[in-house]
Amino acid sequence: MAAGGAGGIPLLLLLVLVVPGVLPQGAAERRCFCQVTGYLDDCTCDVETIDAFNNYKLFPRLNQLLESDYFRYYKVNLKKPCPFWDDNSHCGMRDCAVQPCPSDEVPDGIRSGSYKYSEEANNRDGECEEAERLGAVDDSLSTETREAVLQWTRHDDSSESFCEADDIYSPDAEYVDLLLNPERYTGYKGPDAWKIWNSIYEENCFKPQNVKRPLASGRGDDGGHTFYKWLKGVCVEKRAFYRLISGLHASINIHLSARYLLQDTWSEKRWGPNVTEFQQRFDEVLTRGEGPRRLKNLYFLYLIELRALSKVLPFFERPGFRLYTGNESQDVEMKDLLLEILHLAKSFPLHFDENSFFAGNKKEAAKLKEEFRLHFKNISKIMDCVGCFKCRLWGKLQTQGLGTALKILFSENLIEKMPESGPSYGFQLTRQEIVALFNAFGRVSTSVKELENFRNILQNMR
């Protein structure tokens, strides 16, 4: 989803972006990155540690994992109507389109209904596929597997979910090859895109109506003084919620800037980094100080999702868990790579401490956690209002991925109690959640890597 521009950008500043040599040497790089350094608010970690860890250790391995068959196919319903307002307008540009996969191109093991993960269930590929979603289970299944499917169904509909997940059994749900439908600039912007983000920020980030976020369209701005005074005064959970959404927004904008349509002719379409687009979204002057804050929130999002990966390791380490596609040798190889990534995530030296969340009075903490969950679930529903189908695809995937990360962080006790073998009734992840979790973190990891590229480009602007 594209975000609206900063609005009211003076001509002189636009010339700074477009005309080489207007800025003094190194000034362009400093204006985007000078504040994006050192320790992050509410964290003990620093930006430089994340850059080194991500760019040289984790990113290359994660990229390899996400190119595998198991992680490249995601089932999504892009035809769900917007639940919040009547809006039949869709992006008509060709780059907004999503090409679903023909059924015979999806690996057999994924297509045959192996959405859950006990070893027995994976060995009974087709038998679960026809089970009705609310618990009518195929009589041909063993008693143990039948009970497991019922447990999984109850789990999927449980109150622990942070997302409004698509019904993958719906006739409108289709598999999409994520590698063939990459997230990049589509031209979707302006009022329609602004309406989505405005609804997310204004109605779902715990913010009172009289506190206006910085650079809100058509409103006076006091440099963010009132907003940040409010943000500093709220509890750590509500502050974290805003920073997660801001970080996700920043990550999406980095992707759009890094994979911009630079050339579109009859003979060639060329995608690449658009420095002007990046600066409009993150330059300190053009965004009136907001750009560097957005980038710091991206790093905060990175820490949250990395922490979730480190916590969920026991779920994937169990011998009965398989990344099932039907290609046995590749499945074993990819599980080994997945475990390598999770062990690497666990080894990160400066993890976010989620124990500060929902501490104190148990009754008040439980109420706040439920509000937190419902607000995020509402945001996942807003993704069905995005008019650009490619933006909708990646918005749904990334919100489901972040929602899965939050579910993991708040299920630590259940994960610790999991048996080494057999179904885990207390904590489960569907294949959809697994694919979304790793691809969403892959998007954030890519954003951190792309920042290094933009930093180098801006340093070399002369």
pLDDT (tens digit per residue) in 53-99: 999 999 999 999 999 999 999 999 999 988 888 766 666 577 788 99
Of 383, 162, 83, 66, the residue nearest 252 (C-alpha): 383
Arithmetic mean of pLDDT, 175-195? 88
Contact 385, 84 (CB under 8 A): yes
Of 379, 439, 424, the residue nearest 118 (C-alpha): 424
Q: CA–CA separation, 65 vs 441, rounded Å?
A: 12
In a domain, 4, yes or no: no
In a domain, 39, yes or no: yes
Arithmetic mean of pLDDT, 363-383? 89
Residue 249 is labelled as binding a ligand: yes
**For residue 288, is pLDDT > 60?**
yes
Greater model confidence, 46 or 339: 339
Greater model confidence, 218 or 15: 218
Instruction: Report the DSSP beta bridge partners of residue 261.
Output: 271
| List of long-range contacts for 367-373, beta carbons under 8 Å, 24+ apart | 368/235, 368/237, 369/237, 369/410, 371/206, 372/237, 372/241, 373/159, 373/160, 373/161, 373/162, 373/406
pLDDT (tens digit per residue) in 297-348: 999 999 999 999 999 999 999 988 889 898 999 999 999 999 999 999 999 9
Greater model confidence, 23 or 284: 284
DSSP 77: -
The count of structural domains within the chain is 1
pLDDT (tens digit per residue) in 186-211: 888 878 888 899 999 988 898 888 88
pLDDT of residue 408: 92
In a domain, 420, yes or no: yes
Of 376, 198, 225, the residue nearest 301 (C-alpha): 376
Contact 116, 428 (CB under 8 A): yes
Most confident range, picked from 184-188, 272-276, 357-361, 441-445: 441-445
pLDDT of residue 42: 65
Quick one: pLDDT band at residue 389, thresholds 50, 70, 90? very high
Give 50's contacts (C-beta < 8 A, 6+ positions apart): 299, 302, 303, 448
Residue 246 is labelled as binding a ligand: yes
**For residue 372, is pLDDT > 70?**
yes
Q: Which domain holds residue 152?
A: 11-459
pLDDT (tens digit per residue) in 397-430: 999 999 999 999 888 888 888 887 766 667 889 9
In a domain, 156, yes or no: yes
Return the ∠ at Cα 373 (arms to 372 and 376), rounded to 5°: 85
State the burial class of residue 145 (Cβ atoms within 10 Å of its Cβ: 0-12, 13-18, 19+).
Answer: buried
Kind of pairing between the strands at 73-76 and 174-177: antiparallel
Q: Which residue has the tokens 């560097």?
A: 292
Residue 255 is labelled as binding a ligand: no
Q: CA–CA separation, 145 vs 259, rounded Å?
A: 45
Greater model confidence, 148 or 12: 148
Residue 270 is labelled as binding a ligand: no
Greater model confidence, 297 or 6: 297
Q: CA–CA separation, 22 vs 432, rounded Å?
A: 48
From the CB of residue 363, how many other CB atoms can be counted at a distance below 10 Å?
A: 8
Kind and range of the H or E element at 174? Answer: strand 174-177
Q: CA–CA separation, 179 vs 66, rounded Å?
A: 9
pLDDT of residue 88: 63
**For residue 222, is pLDDT > 80?**
no
Most confident range, picked from 6-10, 132-136, 158-162, 235-239: 235-239
pLDDT of residue 124: 39
3-class SS at 270?
Answer: strand
Q: CA–CA separation, 255 vs 50, rounded Å?
A: 18
From the CB of residue 122, how many other CB atoms can be counted at a distance below 10 Å?
A: 19
Greater model confidence, 420 or 278: 278
State the burial class of residue 210 (Cβ atoms within 10 Å of its Cβ: 0-12, 13-18, 19+).
Answer: exposed
pLDDT of residue 131: 36
Percent of the chain whose pLDDT exceeds 90? 43
388 catalytic, yes or no?
yes
- Candidate list 45, 91, 205, 391, residue with the active-site label: 391
Arithmetic mean of pLDDT, 426-450? 95
Q: What are phi and psi of 421, to 5 degrees?
A: -135, 160
Tokens of 451: 């920042």
Contact 188, 91 (CB under 8 A): yes
In a domain, 128, yes or no: yes
In a domain, 398, yes or no: yes
Quick one: pLDDT band at residue 180, thresholds 50, 70, 90? very high
- Candidate list 96, 101, 205, 388, residue with the active-site label: 388
In a domain, 289, yes or no: yes
Of 77, 84, 79, the residue nearest 379 (C-alpha): 84
In a domain, 3, yes or no: no
